[in-house]
Amino acid sequence: MNTLEALTTRRSCRNFKPDPVPPELIDQVLEAGTFAPTGMGRQSPIIVAITNKEVRDQLSALNARIMESDGDPFYGAPVVLVVLARKDVPTHVYDGSLVMGNMLNAAHDLGLASCWIHRAKEEFESPEGHEILARLGLDASEYEGIGNCILGYAAEPAPAPAPRKADYIYRIV
């Protein structure tokens, strides 16, 4: 699939099979994230790859509590790639967002389903989020959660794309 095809055919998935994702595919998605553009090349983001079911479920429960729900906000996806970025870099939110976009598009190209799940900021401002980062030797006060990229195999076909709005593009010629 070429780049434009990947960009126009990718859809967010909200129903995943429990099947594990091969590590080599996860590694390719992660690598794509590391090649996202960043402000002044500072590479402010980091990615925490979670395939451990216990930690995945802990993060899912935390995310659900933040949005005052008791469901699984990760929709059964077996992999969560959390993007955080250094707060002291002025472009950190943009940098992390580009990492998320690269990973979402790479996943699609590799035949994986994905979705951006919000509330990573709140997750990693919590004591539970601090503890997850501390296990990795990271100081949570230095990072802001940008997003959770959930990965897996879709349990059903992707929906057709929604029509693009009429006033999406304005031109100055």
Look up tokens 């979402």; give the residue.
Answer: 104
Instruction: Provide the CATH number for the domain around residue 112.
Output: 3.40.109.10
pTM above 0.95, yes or no: yes
Say if 113 falls within a structural domain: yes
Say if 61 falls within a structural domain: yes
Please compute, for residue 117, the number of CA atoms within 13 A of its CA located in the half-sphere on the CB side: 27
Say if 173 falls within a structural domain: no
Say if 42 falls within a structural domain: yes
| C-alpha closest to that of 37 among 91, 116, 112, 117 | 91
Using CA atoms, how far apart are residues 115 and 111, in angstroms rounded to an integer?
Answer: 13
Domain containing residue 118? 13-152
Say if 141 falls within a structural domain: yes
Mean pLDDT within 79-96: 98
| Number of domains comprising the chain | 1
pLDDT for 56-69, tens place per residue? 999 999 999 999 99
Which region holds residue 51: left if phi is over 0, alpha if psi is between -120 and 50, else beta?
alpha
Say if 126 falls within a structural domain: yes
**Length, in residues, of the chain:** 173
Q: Do residues 48 and 107 touch, judged by C-beta distance below 8 A?
A: no
What are 16's strand-pairing partners?
154
What are 86's strand-pairing partners?
143
Say if 6 falls within a structural domain: no
pLDDT for 2-31, tens place per residue? 999 999 999 999 999 999 999 999 999 999
pLDDT for 140-157, tens place per residue? 999 999 999 999 999 999
Say if 172 falls within a structural domain: no
